[in-house]
Structure 1
Amino acid sequence: MAKVATRDWYDIARDTNWTPTYVAEDEMFPPQFSDPYGIPLAEWETFDEPYKITFRDYVQSQREKDVGAYSVKSAIARTEFYRKASPGWKSLLQLHFGAVSFTEYGSVSAFARMSRFARAPGMRNMANFGSLDEIRHAQIQMYFAYEFIGESRAFDWAQKAVRTNNWVVISERHCFDDIEHTRDVISAAIMTNFSFEQAFTNLQFVALSADAKKYGDYSFATMLQTIQSDEARHAQIGEPLIEIMLRNGRKAEAQKLIDISFWRIWKQFSVLSGVSMDYYTPLEQRELSFKEFVKEFVGNQFLRNIQALGLEKPWYWDEYFLPDIDVYHHAQQIGIYLYRATEWWDVIAGVSPAERQWLESKYPGWNDTFGQVWDVITENILAGRLERTEPKLLPMMCNMVGFELTGVPGKKWDVRDCQVDYEGRRYHFGHPVDKWIFEQEPKRYKNHMGFIDRIVRGIVPAGPDGVFDYMNMGEADRGNCGENFAWAESYRRAAE
């Protein structure tokens, strides 16, 4: 018997809307979860996913991806590779698995909520696949991470991070709870599937996979490629939603969702990927600087996408976003290195003479700004004053981002503390855009306690180990200089 072509039955099979008779429409799809914008059901039924796939094809495709990734992993002696890897690549792997695995796991429920509450049958169908994708992404990354557990306890954080109150984890959790888990499914999908996955993760995995392949870490590269192909598929859920919003007079709401989510995700992406690309990736394996990567793949491509849909570039694009590409991750790298004991990975400075020369070539003026801070750090290490490389004072942290308030050192010093007084509490923000986001929905953000807030209010136990106990970090979990300060010795040798 001849098979019916997929195109002849696909739309019928996924058109699963019906008129309920035992409950009211609003009980089946509560507006606060499904659609607070009041868009007619007939409009939602026009949702047309660009990437169409059947369950049979999905299972076959995912099986082939897993067979390929696990086969490469089995064929390569990964433990021996890790032992021989550069300190910077070890740091990159430790940071990646601890920071990314639990966000993949959290995305499972984000897609599941879309599957349950979305009014568009095509969206529900694609979200179902999205949940399955994220389960696989979490599992494969945890599995690959645990291969190195005998080499470093940092890889335990692939599973442990989500159950801790580490300050980095608190920052990530606040961001992704905001865009993925605490909004209606339409808003969450636009913020997650468009701003997050189309603008950042899809391209991030491409770039990181290329660096991994060039470095010779074929197992890690293959794993990332299997994830990226999934991200490329369900990243497209957001575009049809934006088109529907615009057709129904909701351009301003769609624009605000993009403006908020792009900036929130940018801050996380800048620290995770910026530090990994410009400081942790070995110099000879760097394809592009982080700035070059962002301007080409995130800036240009994302800008074309939103403008093609009929939206405007975020209001802060030229004044704040583009300048931020040059500076934010450099400032955060200094804080990451100085507060290394509070992180689960072994931090790399990435500022040897050759690396500084590269940084100056990619970021003109780096030596006269961020380089001045590293000069002081280097001087203290060479003089044996290691205690001066571990600050004793608490840093001021942004109430939106959860990272330190930073500026540009040297003559361009411009650290900001943008303040908002709301209901008897003062909130501090590191940037006017962070302040603007808070002001859009202060009731949404007002109860959040950043890490320093928790210390000041006595939530974190007192005593020398109180901070580490609160973060569930025993001595073995605490980060060190991944090179044991050997990088600074290159300056002593250069001076001889």
Structure 2
Amino acid sequence: MALLERVDWYDIARANNWTPSYVSDSDLFPDIMSGAQGIPMVQWESYDEPYKTSYPEYVRIQREKDAGAYAVKAALNCCRSFEDTDPGWLSILKAHYGAIALGEYAAMSAEARMVRFGRAPGMRNMATFGMLDENRHGQLQLYFPHDYCAKDRQFDWAHKACHTNQWGAIAARNTFDDLFMSRSAIEIAVMLTFALETGFTNVQFLGLAADAVNVGDFTFASLISSIQTDESRHAQIGGPALHILIANGRKTEAQKLVDVAIARTWRLFCLLTGSSMDYATPIEHRNQSFKEFAREWIVSQFERTLIDLGLDLPWYWDQLINEFDYQHHAYQLGIWFWRPTVWWDPAAGVTPECRDWLEEKYPGWNNSFGKVWDVIIENLLLGRRELTMPETLPVLCNMSQLPICAIPGDGWNVKDYPLDHNGRRYHFNSEIDRWVFQQDPVRYRDHLTLVDRLLAGHIQPPDLLGALNYMGLAPGEMGDDAHQYAWVESYRGPVTTKQAA
């Protein structure tokens, strides 16, 4: 076979289904693990993966990627790139590594489930390489920040975050566990590889790589580009699976999986990518706003993919697009105000120049979010920093595990969307979050947000200090302003007199 072109033998080699003789087909592929939904094997054998590669080709290409990423890292280690990097960008790295690194290992387990229980031979083949991809991604994103730990202990949270009860880690685990750690092979193909990776993480890595180049962080740019090319390949596992589901009368079930996965993924994407692009990235290096980026890649690109597959847009699509204008701004306010509760130093990103940029990109920003920042700035100018620090925890959404928040100021629209279920009241950030819960209450009903745990007595003492200890945040790890409040000095002068009056 080594003497033949891949096209001459690939289809024969991957046709590895068989009729078991010692167990039943249902025992070998139980539906709870395969998620085949009663579609016969012969239909799954029509699965046609868009990326076809052999193991020798895969190893050769991955070796080249690793060599390139590690070579760039080694070459730049002797430079002062870390010391010369804007603190806001370093905070992006800390947040990214902590939220994503161990999530890659979780995705490896999800890919392994498709390898074992996928009904389609082509799916099992692609998932095998996807499993190796995710293992590689986890290793890279733990190894690269490890060198920084001696310089800044917050980088240790690349490994630590997902082992703690920090609220952001809880939110990430809750989403990942839902979408690909507790699902069948077919559900994983749709919810992880199609919705999360095609629609969001692949897009996020494209944006991160571009921003890294702009700020001169070529180590991170090389790393993320290396990962993104893997993501773009194994993210294609879900498309052919959706084709088979739809062709065999399972469009309703497929649509629901996609709608739930997009809704859940959007919250984390909005939190991480939105705040990074519009606040933490130095203004001189911003090529476009988060809203422009989301409209180009999520709306224009992903929307077309959904329609081409024969699916409908999620029922909440217009509402989600409306959130491009405000949700990540609200999260940014929460991240900065509750900065002691995160493992990175959030950049405020609201110098006068930044505010002009935000007003241009998001007309009305100064009359909504700007009014909250005005109060924060006034307190900082008058030396009342303690008034810009939290004393308790915010109300959290029982779906996303993130704060319930929206537009303040003139455009106020902050609203709780409660639901009473089996004697317990649940709180949600939007109709979308509440709808996800209603699709499978048994799956979600018993989970406790950080605030639920505080009220249930799990956190002692039941105050902010007790919560910080519960979250595993030690002195030197708790977040503070990325620029040590130096940005506030740009408001001294006439503005101070006016605000003080």
SS of 1:273's equivalent?
Answer: helix
* CA distance, structure 2, for counterparts of residue 63 and residue 36 of structure 1: 35
Which residue does 1:469 correspond to in 2?
A: 469
Residues 158-189 of structure 1: CA distance to partner in whole angstroms, max 9, x if unpaired?
11112111100000111111011111110121
Counterpart code for 1:115:
V
Quick check: 1:133–1:230 contact (8 Å CA) kept in 2? yes
* CA shift in 2, pair 1:31/1:80, >3 Å: same
Which residue does 2:453 correspond to in 1?
A: 454
Please state how far the C-alpha of 1:493 moved relative to its aligned partner. 4.6
Which residue does 2:413 correspond to in 1?
A: 414
* CA distance, structure 2, for counterparts of residue 243 and residue 68 of structure 1: 36
Which residue does 1:237 correspond to in 2?
A: 237
SS of 1:345's equivalent?
Answer: coil
SS of 1:477's equivalent?
Answer: coil
SS of 1:358's equivalent?
Answer: helix
Which residue does 2:224 correspond to in 1?
A: 224
Map 1:194-209 to 2 at 5 A: 194-209=194-209
Please state how far the C-alpha of 1:198 moved relative to its aligned partner. 0.6
Which has the higher mean CA deviation after the structures are superposed, 186-195 or 486-495?
A: 486-495
Which has the higher mean CA deviation after the structures are superposed, 284-293 or 75-84?
A: 75-84
Residues 190-249 of structure 1: CA distance to partner in whole angstroms, max 9, x if unpaired?
011111111111121111101111111111101111000000000100100110001100
SS of 2:329's equivalent?
Answer: helix
Counterpart code for 2:127:
A
Please state how far the C-alpha of 1:463 moved relative to its aligned partner. 5.6
Quick check: 2:99–2:161 contact (8 Å CA) kept in 1? yes
Residues 301-360 of structure 1: CA distance to partner in whole angstroms, max 9, x if unpaired?
000001001111111111x11110110000010010010001000111000000000000
* CA distance, structure 2, for counterparts of residue 398 and residue 63 of structure 1: 43
Quick check: 1:189–1:237 contact (8 Å CA) kept in 2? yes
Which residue does 1:434 correspond to in 2?
A: 433
Residues 111-149 of structure 1: CA distance to partner in whole angstroms, max 9, x if unpaired?
011111111111011111111000100111111111211
Which residue does 1:149 correspond to in 2?
A: 149
Counterpart code for 1:428:
H
* CA distance, structure 1, for counterparts of residue 36 and residue 78 of structure 2: 50
Counterpart code for 1:303:
E
Which residue does 2:103 correspond to in 1?
A: 103
* CA distance, structure 1, for counterparts of residue 152 and residue 47 of structure 2: 47
Quick check: 2:36–2:119 contact (8 Å CA) kept in 1? no
Which residue does 2:18 correspond to in 1?
A: 18
* CA distance, structure 2, for counterparts of residue 444 and residue 400 of structure 1: 11
1:112 aligns with 2:112: yes
Quick check: 2:359–2:365 contact (8 Å CA) kept in 1? yes
Please state how far the C-alpha of 1:79 moved relative to its aligned partner. 6.5
Quick check: 1:338–1:389 contact (8 Å CA) kept in 2? yes
Counterpart code for 2:452:
D
Map 1:299-378 to 2 at 5 A: 299-318=299-318, 320-378=319-377
TM norm structure 1? 0.98
* CA distance, structure 2, for counterparts of residue 43 and residue 170 of structure 1: 39
SS of 1:68's equivalent?
Answer: helix
* CA distance, structure 1, for counterparts of residue 232 and residue 370 of structure 2: 38
Map 1:50-199 to 2 at 5 A: 50-77=50-77, 80-199=80-199
Please state how far the C-alpha of 1:391 moved relative to its aligned partner. 2.1
1:292 aligns with 2:292: yes
1:260 aligns with 2:251: no
SS of 1:426's equivalent?
Answer: strand
Quick check: 1:79–1:147 contact (8 Å CA) kept in 2? no
Please state how far the C-alpha of 1:11 moved relative to its aligned partner. 1.2
Structure 2 portions without partners, runs of 5+: 497-501
Counterpart code for 2:346:
V
Counterpart code for 2:407:
V
* CA shift in 2, pair 1:352/1:78, >3 Å: farther
* CA distance, structure 2, for counterparts of residue 69 and residue 35 of structure 1: 37
Quick check: 2:407–2:413 contact (8 Å CA) kept in 1? yes
1:393 aligns with 2:396: no
Quick check: 2:397–2:428 contact (8 Å CA) kept in 1? yes
* CA distance, structure 1, for counterparts of residue 105 and residue 371 of structure 2: 40
* CA shift in 2, pair 1:494/1:145, >3 Å: farther
SS of 1:38's equivalent?
Answer: coil
Structure 1 portions without partners, runs of 5+: none
Which residue does 1:384 correspond to in 2?
A: 383
Counterpart code for 2:466:
G
* CA distance, structure 2, for counterparts of residue 247 and residue 36 of structure 1: 13
Residues 452-476 of structure 1: CA distance to partner in whole angstroms, max 9, x if unpaired?
1111101122166321221111112
Residues 53-102 of structure 1: CA distance to partner in whole angstroms, max 9, x if unpaired?
10000000000000001111111136721111112111111111111111
The structure 1 segments of at least 4 consecutive aligned residues displaced by more than 2 Å after TM superposition are: 493-496
SS of 2:214's equivalent?
Answer: helix
* CA distance, structure 2, for counterparts of residue 278 and residue 387 of structure 1: 26
Which has the higher mean CA deviation after the structures are superposed, 385-394 or 250-259?
A: 385-394
Residues 9-33 of structure 1: CA distance to partner in whole angstroms, max 9, x if unpaired?
1111112111111111111111111
Quick check: 1:98–1:154 contact (8 Å CA) kept in 2? no
* CA distance, structure 1, for counterparts of residue 475 and residue 404 of structure 2: 27
Which residue does 2:499 correspond to in 1?
A: none
Which has the higher mean CA deviation after the structures are superposed, 459-468 or 332-341?
A: 459-468
Quick check: 1:79–1:148 contact (8 Å CA) kept in 2? no
* CA distance, structure 2, for counterparts of residue 203 and residue 113 of structure 1: 24
Counterpart code for 1:363:
Y
* CA distance, structure 2, for counterparts of residue 367 and residue 102 of structure 1: 38
TM norm structure 2? 0.97
* CA distance, structure 1, for counterparts of residue 493 and residue 402 of structure 2: 35
Counterpart code for 2:475:
E
* CA distance, structure 2, for counterparts of residue 121 and residue 222 of structure 1: 33
Counterpart code for 2:50:
P
1:486 aligns with 2:486: yes
* CA distance, structure 1, for counterparts of residue 2 and residue 31 of structure 2: 44
* CA distance, structure 1, for counterparts of residue 79 and residue 158 of structure 2: 17
Map 1:23-62 to 2 at 5 A: 23-62=23-62
Counterpart code for 2:104:
E
SS of 1:418's equivalent?
Answer: coil
* CA shift in 2, pair 1:2/1:482, >3 Å: closer
Counterpart code for 1:321:
L
Quick check: 2:154–2:477 contact (8 Å CA) kept in 1? yes
Give the root-mean-square deviation of aligned CA atoms.
1.3
